[in-house]
Amino acid sequence: MKSIVCPHCGEKTILKDKKIFDDAFQLKEVRKVCAFCGGGVEENGSDSGKNTPDGSKAASERLSALLGGEKSVKSSFAPDADDGRVCLHCRHYIKHPFMDRCGITLQEINVMESCAQFEPR
């Protein structure tokens, strides 16, 4: 930790980050402030510095280089042929306030189960 002399209170102190939010609770900026008096201070010791959280393109490029380049993995949420073949969507599903039943077997079922006799509604 680097300690500096605060230009506001004159004490030897360390800097801490103070997060400034806008009305929608979005992070607007991050300021370095004195740990004792809360006065705005830049890291080099001068008065009221501001560091925006947006960053620069160079910072993004350094992070990309650190992580091994621009490798983005696209995830696919395409439905399979078996998706949706659950008892809840079956023609034989019987809804009851106390238990759910199958219209073919008349047994109590879990709505997320699947069976070979599935027929869509």
**Residue ranges of the domains in the chain?**
3-56, 80-121
Would you state the pLDDT for residue 50?
Answer: 43
* pLDDT over threshold 70, residue 15: yes
Q: Are strands 3-5 and 93-94 parallel, antiparallel or unpaired?
A: unpaired
Q: What band does 102 get if pLDDT is binned at 50, 70 and 90?
A: very high
> Is the predicted pLDDT of residue 19 greater than 80, yes or no?
yes
Q: Which residue has the higher pLDDT, 60 or 111?
A: 111
C-alpha closest to that of 41 among 89, 7, 79:
7
Locate the DSSP E strands across the chain.
3-5, 12-21, 27-34, 93-94, 101-102
Q: What is the mean pLDDT of residues 45-68?
A: 58
- Residue 16, pLDDT > 80, answer yes
What's the pLDDT score for residue 94? 92
Residue pair 38/20 in contact by the 8 Å Cβ criterion: no
The CATH number assigned to the domain with range 80-121 reads 2.20.70
Q: What is the pLDDT of residue 54?
A: 47
Mean per-residue pLDDT over the chain, rounded? 77
Q: What is the CA radius of gyration of the chain?
A: 30
Q: Which residues contact 88 (CB under 8 A, 6 or more apart)?
A: 111, 112
Higher pLDDT, 115 or 80: 115
Neighbours of 25 (CB within 10 A): 7
